Amino acid sequence: MPSSDGKLRVAIIGGGLAGATLMNALLKYSHLSPEIFESAPEFSERGAAVGIAQNGQAALAEIAPELAGALDRAGAVVMSSSRVRMASGPHTGALAFDLTGEQRGKVVHRKALLNELLEPIPKSRMHTSKKVTDIAQANDSATGPFKLHFQDGSSYIADAVIGADGVHGYVRTHILGADHPALKPKFGGFWDSRSLIPMEKAKELLGEHYFIEGDQRQHGWIGNGGFFMHDVLDGGKTVQCVACAQTNEEWGEDEWRRDLDREKLESTFSGWTESAIKRGMIENPELKAFAEWHHKIDAPTYAKGRVVMMGDAAHAMTPWQGSGAGQAIEDAMVLDALLGEVKEPKQLEAAFKAYDQVRRPRTQRIIASSHDVGMALCGRGSGGLDVEKLADLPPKWVFIHTQDQKEHIKGALEAMRSIV
């Protein structure tokens, strides 16, 4: 049975971008009572900047026009294009490709965007230090509500549970089982390191010609075994530099970062003509190499009964196609549409099955595609450092960026009705 006021209780587990976006979406429904639970002492996002391509922007607009405005309020900067050149090999200095037009995106600081998404959420519905340890039936009925148990000894009764708790969260374990081969993410074979530099300093270090007011671009360089890029965020006040490397080194299952000294950085990018890499990265006094993980083994489902997962909990992916945040937003868009149609608990399972049907094939395709693109951008794909073969990369983004979000929603609703 729903709560005493007749509303369906929806527990969102995880307070990052995925959970906060969905929470905003569900607040508009009078028949739902959503609550958001974060395991950490505060709501936060790890990492510097995130790119939201046009598919993600369109998904935010489908959820609510005012939600799409959160990007601009957070200081997002529109990239006129992503321009990629060769930094080593026989075609050093040559333009590999430009991602332009429909493939433009906005770059925004993760923390700033999360703060904007959290702003409309009533504080009474936001709960911190709530690490889920168990999801069990609240009574003897298999179709009854759940009782969520938290590490601090507290509990919560919910009609539906949505896991936005990342790759280390509990909800994926509940859905797949503790011994499932697809449970844990695998090291993707890449690490990356980031440095944030004030705009005026970046102009001095990297060159003013990269930062033309009104025509901001991402700039990238492909080299033997690595990739370097920089872009603009914080409304044009900050430049983010990112150095990435493909490696055959082993990373431990729980090893997410390593110290990165200047010697390691220089040896990784030795032979590169683009010295901006060193100048940009050494501005960070505490260089760290962060492992890129992904769900290499496809999960057979994203849902189990009235429990479902979204974002990195469902489909962690390497960042090479800039789609992690965008796919989490699309997840929220589809769940928003489906839960808007659910009026009683017995419809929840059909809604989550429909979500799984439309979201799993798309997101798992991107997981595989992103890894392949990463190998190519590090000069380790089938085309090596051949600039003519690398020029064939842009079409690999088309299926991601050009999706018709209204049709995607329509497909999910049709799937739900066929299941009911």
Which residues are tagged catalytic? 194
Structure tokens at 397: 């983004």
Long-range contacts of 207-210 (CB under 8 A, 24+ apart): 207/276
Distance CA(91)–CA(416), nearest Å, equals 52
Asked whether the beta carbons of 112 and 72 are under 8 A apart, the reply is: no
Task: Give, in degrees to the nearest 5, the angle at Cα 140 between 303 and 4.
Answer: 80
Closest listed residue to residue 299, CA positions, set 315, 319, 318:
315
Asked whether the beta carbons of 330 and 56 are under 8 A apart, the reply is: yes
Which residue reads 């040896």 in tokens?
A: 267
Closest listed residue to residue 236, CA positions, set 209, 206, 213, 268:
213
Q: What residues does 155 pair with on adjacent strands?
A: 149
Residues in the chain: 420
Structure tokens at 312: 């990195």
Distance CA(369)–CA(348), nearest Å, equals 31
Q: What residues does 134 pair with on adjacent strands?
A: 149
Burial of 72 by CB count in 10 Å (0-12 exposed, 13-18 middle, 19+ buried)?
middle
Q: What would you measure as the largest C-alpha separation in the chain, in angstroms?
A: 71
Distance CA(304)–CA(182), nearest Å, equals 15
Report in angstroms the alpha-carbon separations of 102 from 50, 99, 372: 18, 8, 22
Distance CA(361)–CA(353), nearest Å, equals 13
Asked whether the beta carbons of 290 and 192 are under 8 A apart, the reply is: yes
Structure tokens at 102: 């429909």
Strands (E) located in 100-185: 105-109, 126-127, 132-137, 146-150, 155-158, 160-163
